[in-house]
Amino acid sequence: MNNSGNTLLAIIAGSAIGAALGILYAPDKGENTRKLIADQAAATRDNFTDSAIDLKNRVASKMYDEKDTLDTRVESLVSDISYKTEDVISTLEKKLAELKTKNKKLQKTV
């Protein structure tokens, strides 16, 4: 994304410089030249603003996508941990029952 932002900025800057130089070297009245430069500056500003808004929207979209992916991964991890916890508890309960049985047998023999 950084590369596309730099490329876009270079294109905008190059267009503005090229247009300004073309206008300055064109044979026309000073008033017309100043108006063309002002118009070109306004158009360049508008293009830059539009590009900045587009970049902001793409970054925001990417962030929301990554958040959704992270949320899904967290839910999956919590589910896995819950299942494994239940499995461990079940195993421990079985072991406890076995130990209680062995304890009763030992108490009867003593």
Q: What is the pLDDT of residues 32-50, one digit of tens each?
A: 877 877 888 888 889 888 8
Q: Is the pLDDT of residue 72 over 70?
A: yes
Query: What span, in angstroms and rounded, lies between the C-alpha atoms of 68 and 20?
Result: 46
* Distances, alpha carbon 47 to alpha carbons 23, 38, 53, in Å: 19, 14, 10
| 34 close to 6: Cβ distance less than 8 angstroms | no
Q: 69-84: string of b/e by CB count within 10 Å (b at 16+)?
A: eeeeeeeeeeeeeeee
**Amino acid identity, residue 52?**
A
Give the per-residue pLDDT at 2: 64
What is the predicted pLDDT for the residue at 93? 94
